[in-house]
Chain A
Amino acid sequence: MNMYVRNIRKSILDMMYRSKSSHIGSCFSIVEILYTLYFKVLNIQGSTYKLEAKDKFILSKAHGSAALYATLAERGFFSKERLREYYVDGGSLPGHLDMLSVPGVEVSAGSLGHGLSIGTGIAIAKKQECKSEHVYVLLGDGECNEGSVWEAAMLAAHLQLTNLTAIVDYNKFQGFGKTNEVINQRNLNERWLAFGWEVIEVDGHNIEKLEEALKAVQKGPKVLIAHTIKGKGVSFMENKLEWHYKSPNDQEYLLALKEMEDML
């Protein structure tokens, strides 16, 4: 088990336990994706606490903010002490993203279906300035219900943006239940293909495969359909809708912590 990945999950667990906030399952499903981006893929320069990402990352499913904060702190964008400021009175890390909160948060977000449009705009600007930098946008599978996602998908494909990559966190759950039962999107892969995107299906918890897929050369916009497990890493949270909402109580916290430590 990768030490950084374990630390990120532990940070998320701590943040959720302390703040009693929702979305721990949505955070756990994207940990390997965020780790791969911030430790293997993004061009990040500078020294600890003075880092600057040359490539842009947008967490469009911003209810997974705790996972991003934990990853940014693990990577050295800011001190891990600041994670205690998540979702609490007088804190500095809101439940959804505010670009003025901490270094590394590039875009404010929290309402679904905004990130791919913003990412498309940034990709257009970078292309126009002939910069080799890349833009990555992480979407939820439920988020793909939003029509605006497909407005952006159409434009990015029309402009053949080779510097734009979307990642869909296909954890197969959303607000009221299984995504395919709420509203069918079983053929997500074909939908993106039909919109003119290159599609790679990948195990969203396999760092090697994620890195390979993210670094694969693209002739237009590319999307990773990352098959993930909601609540990944804690046995009793995996694939359970309730962990979209619940936060761990004392007993659950200790159990989850023990599982994480046993995995080392």
Chain B
Amino acid sequence: MRNAFIHSLIEEARRNKDIFLITPDLGFSVLEKFAEEFPDRFLNVGIAEQNAIGVASGLAISGKVVYVYSIIPFVTMRCFEQVRIDVAYMNSNVRLVGVGAGLSYGPSGATHHAIEDIAIMRALPNMTVCCPGDPLEVRQILKESVQYQGPMYIRLAKSGEPQIHSNDTEVKIGKAIVVCEGEDLAILATSNMLETAYKVTCSLKEKGIHCCLISVPTLKPFDYQTINELINRNIPIVTLEEHSVIGGLGSIVAEQIAESGKGVKFKRLGIPDSYSHYVGSHVYLREKFRLSENQIITTLESFIYKKTL
């Protein structure tokens, strides 16, 4: 996803001279091509995230479209008040681009994990929250972000994620994407869980369980219409995210179901309300939080066959 991001940004920057890229000294071996091609529109401000956001806001109110790139906790939480005032309150065209969704930074430890970012960013008025699930979603969201008005948070995974969607899939900010149809269960996946959700859907199909898989690349503004349709069809709904179960996709869908006045079977799959004290790779940590493909299949089978209370 990092490569999809930087290649798309370079392409857009060739067409639009207002695009500016700031880093608080992260992105080594990712951002160099941009810096070489557009030296006047690239700025490493040093390891100073609060200043990075303030400077970005100053550039944005001067007419630039400013992308600030760093690891998620540092570009969202270290400088949270600058994001709140200089970006969200001032409604400036700053794009916070965070890399390392969920547990992507695995053995680096909990300081580098991102499990609260969606909840925090979506609580900010004016902030659009995009969590692309594959490189195609990254490219199309990035393309739309250039002209998009107001602040954005773009949550990237890391690298090597496969493309799930076909090349002709249309990705629009604010719209969920139906990847495949099914009547037994609806799986809503966001960010770096899309690939796993897709594999789970394929495996369940072989077992005779037909899932409706929906990718949710935008968590705010949320595509409530798609959720309402699922609620009206009375399909059991499961949300899948590498984020705390508090405040992310699962919370959004739960709120909508609760306010719909209609009951539907529902489950949130994500990271429980805890930091990881485990040491290990991304794959290893996912297993610890029961988010591997096989563990999710087991959970979903028991969810489907368990009778509603």
Tell yes or no: B55 within 8 A of A by CB.
Answer: yes
**Nearest-Cβ distance from residue A255 to partner chain B, whole angstroms:** 37
Query: Are B63 and A125 in contact (CB-based, < 8 A)?
Result: yes
Contact with B along A92-119 (1 / 0, CB 8 A): 0000000100000011111101111111
Report yes or no: B59 in contact with A121, Cβ–Cβ below 8 A: yes
B86 within 8 A of A: yes
A115 to B246, CA, bound (A): 33
In the complex the two chains form, is B54's CB within 8 Å of A148's CB?
A: yes
B61 and A122: CB pair below 8 A? Answer: yes
Contact among A113, A124, A148 for B43, CB-based, below 8 A: A124
Chain B residues lying within 8 Å of A119, measured Cβ to Cβ, are 58
The interface size of chain B toward A, counting residues with CB under 8 Å, comes to 26
Is A188 an interface residue when CB atoms closer than 8 A count as contact?
Answer: no
Q: How far is the CA of A110 from the CA of B85 in the complex (A)?
A: 9
**Quick check: is B48 within 8 A (CB to CB) of the other chain?**
yes
A107 touches B51 (CB 8 A): no
**B64 lies within 8 A of chain A by Cβ:** yes
Cα–Cα, bound, A109→B85 (Å) = 7
Residues of A within 8 A of B72 (CB): none
Residues from chain B with a CB closer than 8 A to the CB of A122 are 58-59, 61-62
Docked-complex contact B82 and A125, CB < 8 angstroms? no
Q: Is there contact, CB below 8 Å, between A118 and B46?
A: no
Smallest distance from the beta carbon of B96 to chain A beta carbons, Å? 15
Interface of A is mostly: helix
Looking at the complex, which one of A109, A110, A121, A128 makes contact with B55 (CB distance below 8 Å)? Answer: A121
Check A117–B46 contact: CB distance below 8 A. no
Q: CA–CA, A81 to B70, complex, Å?
A: 47
Distance A115 CA – B63 CA, assembled complex (angstroms)? 18
* CB <8 Å contact, B55 and A120: yes
A117 in contact with B40 given A122-B62, A148-B50 (CB within 8 Å): no
The yes or no answer to A152 lying at the interface (CB within 8 A) is yes
Given contacts A107-B90, A117-B50, contact A148 B82 (CB under 8 A): yes
Determine if A126 is an interface residue (Cβ-Cβ < 8 Å): yes
CA distance A181 to B247 in the complex (A): 43
Which of A121, A125, A126, A147 makes the CB contact (< 8 A) with B54?
A121
Whether a CB of chain B sits under 8 angstroms from the CB of A51 is no
Q: What residues on B are CB-neighbors of A125 within 8 Å? A: 58-59, 62-64
Chain B proximity of A31: nearest CB distance (Å): 26
Contact with B along A122-141 (1 / 0, CB 8 A): 11111011000000000000
